[in-house]
Amino acid sequence: MTTRTNFSGGDLFIMLFFVIGLTLCSAAYYFYQKGRYLIDHGIKVKGLVIGMHRIQRYEYPVAPSIRFMTREGKERVWHSSEGRNPPQFEVGQEVVLHYNPNDPDEVQLENDYLLVYVFGGIGSVSLLLSVWEIGGAIRALWGWLFGSP
């Protein structure tokens, strides 16, 4: 007969923190790879910041709206979804961006990895706070689910 061991709330918290950290670090890696792919395989153009818009109504931060020309000569306006306070750009500023020739709405500003930094930073902290105890938490969960010999 096997007896079940105790699986505490602390063990659950450690496992949850570890999974959140892995998820956020994976998201950071995804956004980084997506941006790098556009920079490596997209079309590099110069754009002009034509305005700043708020991501949420009546609230800061603000994000740039950028006008650029595709290689076919069509004028496009791209509205960034990454805002900052204070703003990173000024109206009238020239910026370098890369766009997907198959989907000109898919744009990556050169050297702009805000989501990578945010997700990677929070994910790394979560992992660092939980990595030391994750082995014990997994053993406790295993013992609670299947019993200990």
Q: In the prediction, which pLDDT does 120 show?
A: 96
Q: In the prediction, which pLDDT does 1 show?
A: 46
Contact 31/119 with Cβ under 8 angstroms?
Answer: yes
Look over the chain and give the mean of its residue pLDDT values, rounded to a whole number: 88
Q: At what angle do helices 9-41 and 134-146 cross, to 10 degrees?
A: 120
Q: In the prediction, which pLDDT does 99 show?
A: 95
Residue with token string 């994910």: 123
Q: What is the DSSP letter of 126?
A: H
The C-alpha atoms of residue 66 and residue 81 are separated, in whole angstroms, by: 12
Give the residue with greater pLDDT, 11 vs 94. 94
Residue 2 lies in a domain: no
Residue 68 lies in a domain: yes
Residue 110 lies in a domain: yes
Instruction: Taking residues 27-53, report their average pLDDT.
Output: 94
The C-alpha atoms of residue 132 and residue 147 are separated, in whole angstroms, by: 23
Phi then psi dihedrals of residue 136, to 5 deg: -65, -35
**Chain segment 90-141, per-residue pLDDT in tens:** 999 999 999 999 999 899 998 888 889 999 999 999 999 888 888 888 888 8
Range of the domain at 103: 9-146
The C-alpha atoms of residue 22 and residue 131 are separated, in whole angstroms, by: 10
How many structural domains is the chain composed of?
Answer: 1
Residue 4 lies in a domain: no
Residue 106 lies in a domain: yes
Residue 85 lies in a domain: yes
Apex 15 CA angle, 10 and 17, nearest 5: 90
Q: In the prediction, which pLDDT does 5 show?
A: 62
- Please say if the pLDDT value at position 89 is more than 80: yes
Residue 140 lies in a domain: yes
Q: Which of 102, 99, 101, 56 is nearest to 78 (CA)?
A: 99
